[in-house]
Chains A and B, each alone.
Chain A
Amino acid sequence: MLVSVMEHGSGSTDSGPEVTREDLLARIAGGDQRAFADLYDQVAPRIFGLIRRVLVDAAQSEEVTQEVFLEIWQTAARYSPEKGSALTWMLTMSHRRAVDRIRSSQAGRDRDLKVGTREWEREFDSVSESVEISIENERVQAALQTLTELQREAITLAYYRGMSHSEVADHLHIPIGTVKTRLRDGMIRLRDAMGVTA
């Protein structure tokens, strides 16, 4: 996947998946609109999938997806590989914008509160076209099994439902300090189980 291909300019580069997202970002930073289109084709389904998972509402998810890609275009020069992979950078941005949207609009209040862990886990079972994704899913799925039920619940509410820690506390009727601890302890377990090294 991460074969580095150096190429420049507007020649007839057959930019398939062998061009890394990091390369594409560097070209986008230089104003390369074609690289932007290529990057879009590579990652839009993931970005839209994540935003839709958090926001649920289709129209809002489409708007936020556009905001994310405009931000990618505008800030590509600020991406640096030291900060993590390009995909991490983009997914982090997508999640942040989805959460911002929830907190700033009716979307959060209207969001169907019944959409919860059960459905999410069901979706996990019905993976998926791309090899890379299904591998990541297995990894994540396995890692999630290392959490306690309470940790998994708190992390799911925060990340996939876009709840703030105080909302999680309200939702679960537990003190906010307990939520903080669960989130942190859960993230430590997940990180270690997925072999993430900072």
Chain B
Amino acid sequence: MTDERDDDALADDKSSGAYALGALSAAEAAAFERRLAGNEDLRSEVAGFTDTAALLGAAVPPMAPPARIRNDLLAAIASTPQLPAEGGAVDTDEPRVVVAPVTPIGSAAGTGSKRASRGARSSRPRLTYFVAAAAAVAAVFIGGTVVGANLNGGPADTQASAFQELAVLSTSPDMARTVIELPAGGTAALMTSDQHGLSAVVLEGAAALPSDEVYQAWLIRDGKPTSAGVVPTGANSIRVLEGAFHDGDTVALTVEPKGGSDSPTSAPIEFTA
């Protein structure tokens, strides 16, 4: 009953136009979809609106994307598993995570990625993700949000292990996520899993720091900060943190000179729920 009241607050039958135009928030769209389930007239209206919206989309003048996108995609699909037809896989109640190479996939792609993706697929059949060793940029979909991001930085093999740790972390049943606003602009999300001792910081839309400064992450235990690594520069970036994370640890970011510091030299930005 409470659900129905919430649904009414978030979406009503008049939301059909907004829904088909993509103008509802995720929560509103979910509420509207629950209404759709029991209402054939509404479903039919939405189907017509969806086709109509697609015509608006088709009316935009076409524009050829850069040629490398085609090459990158053809390289990427060679090692990307496909979902079966409706009914299998992806359970929406679980954190849905896809770690996908976006760009540049580049010439070194493939060495470790196929192995990793097969392993991942067989051990976690309900989740879809794959791991690309050489990708410097990842698209990470966490709980429905999408981030095109720089991952960790450093050589390809470091990135490959970061990808795998990120995949493990993101799919861990005990994964917890805390999002904070960065004072300079943008948000930072902390993902942690006590079970796996893993943690990662995800910057989304972070405002650029001066070119000689970086965000550095710290794991704070018993009031004592230990460096957990420098977050790669870029508006959207991901850093899998160094050091084993345990529940009760605090994680904080500081702004440090490029290359990082041995101990924090600016006010900590703490991840607190």
Q: Does B52 contact A (CB under 8 A)?
A: yes
Which residues of the partner chain A approach B148 to less than 8 Å between Cβ atoms?
60, 63-64, 67, 101
Q: Which residue of B lies closest to A46 (CB)?
A: B62
Q: Mark A12-36, 1 if CB is under 8 A from B, else 0.
A: 0000000000000000010101001
Q: Does A74 contact B (CB under 8 A)?
A: yes
Q: Does A148 contact B (CB under 8 A)?
A: no
Total number of B residues with any Cβ neighbor in A under 8 Å? 67
Known: A66-B103, A100-B144, A136-B58. A44 touches B22 (CB 8 A): no
Q: Which residue of A lies closest to B58 (CB)?
A: A136
B86 CB → nearest A CB, Å? 5
Q: Is the CB of B128 within 8 A of A87?
A: no
Which residues of the partner chain A approach B70 to less than 8 Å between Cβ atoms?
37, 40-41, 44
- Inter-chain CA distance A166–B23, complex, in Å, is 8
Contacting residues of chain B (69-128) with chain A, CB-CB under 8 angstroms: 69-70, 72-74, 76-78, 80-86, 100, 102-103, 128
Q: Does B63 contact A (CB under 8 A)?
A: yes
Q: Is the CB of B82 within 8 A of A165?
A: no
B139 CB → nearest A CB, Å? 5
Q: Mark A42-73, 1 if CB is under 8 A from B, else 0.
A: 00111011101100000011111111011001
Q: Is the CB of B51 within 8 A of A198?
A: yes
Which residues of the partner chain A approach B54 to less than 8 Å between Cβ atoms?
84-85, 87-88, 91-92
Contacting residues of chain B (122-151) with chain A, CB-CB under 8 angstroms: 128, 137, 139, 144-148
Q: Mark B44-79, 1 if CB is under 8 A from A, else 0.
A: 110111111111111111111110011011101110
Which residues of the partner chain B approach A62 to less than 8 Å between Cβ atoms?
65-66, 69, 103
Q: Does A106 contact B (CB under 8 A)?
A: yes
Known: A95-B57, A133-B62. A191 touches B23 (CB 8 A): no
B161 CB → nearest A CB, Å? 22
Q: Does B18 contact A (CB under 8 A)?
A: yes
Which residues of the partner chain A approach B73 to less than 8 Å between Cβ atoms?
36, 40, 66, 69-70, 73
- Inter-chain CA distance A88–B66, complex, in Å, is 23
Q: Does B175 contact A (CB under 8 A)?
A: no
Which of B15, B57, B83, B86 touches A50 (beta carbons < 8 Å)? B57
Q: Does B173 contact A (CB under 8 A)?
A: no
Q: Is the CB of A158 within 8 A of B22?
A: yes
A29 CB → nearest B CB, Å? 7
Q: Is the CB of B100 within 8 A of A70?
A: yes
Which residues of the partner chain A approach B21 to less than 8 Å between Cβ atoms?
155, 158-159, 183, 187
- Inter-chain CA distance A29–B84, complex, in Å, is 8
Q: Does B197 contact A (CB under 8 A)?
A: no
Which residues of the partner chain A approach B48 to less than 8 Å between Cβ atoms?
191, 196-198
Known: A105-B205, A180-B14. A196 touches B55 (CB 8 A): yes
- Inter-chain CA distance A196–B25, complex, in Å, is 26
B41 CB → nearest A CB, Å? 10
- Inter-chain CA distance A48–B65, complex, in Å, is 6
Which of B14, B49, B64 touches A191 (beta carbons < 8 Å)? B49
- Inter-chain CA distance A69–B101, complex, in Å, is 12
B62 CB → nearest A CB, Å? 4
Known: A106-B235, A198-B51. A67 touches B139 (CB 8 A): yes
Interface centre among A49, A88, A186, A187 (most CB of B within 10 A): A187
Which residues of the partner chain A approach B264 to less than 8 Å between Cβ atoms?
none
- Inter-chain CA distance A41–B146, complex, in Å, is 25
- Inter-chain CA distance A197–B47, complex, in Å, is 9
- Inter-chain CA distance A96–B47, complex, in Å, is 15
Q: Which residue of A lies closest to B16 (CB)?
A: A184
Contacting residues of chain B (227-251) with chain A, CB-CB under 8 angstroms: 235-236
Q: Is the CB of A140 within 8 A of B24?
A: no
Q: Does B256 contact A (CB under 8 A)?
A: no
What 11 new A-B contacts, CB under 8 Å, besides A44-B64, A191-B48? A50-B60, A63-B102, A63-B137, A78-B83, A103-B145, A106-B207, A107-B205, A123-B61, A140-B59, A166-B25, A196-B55
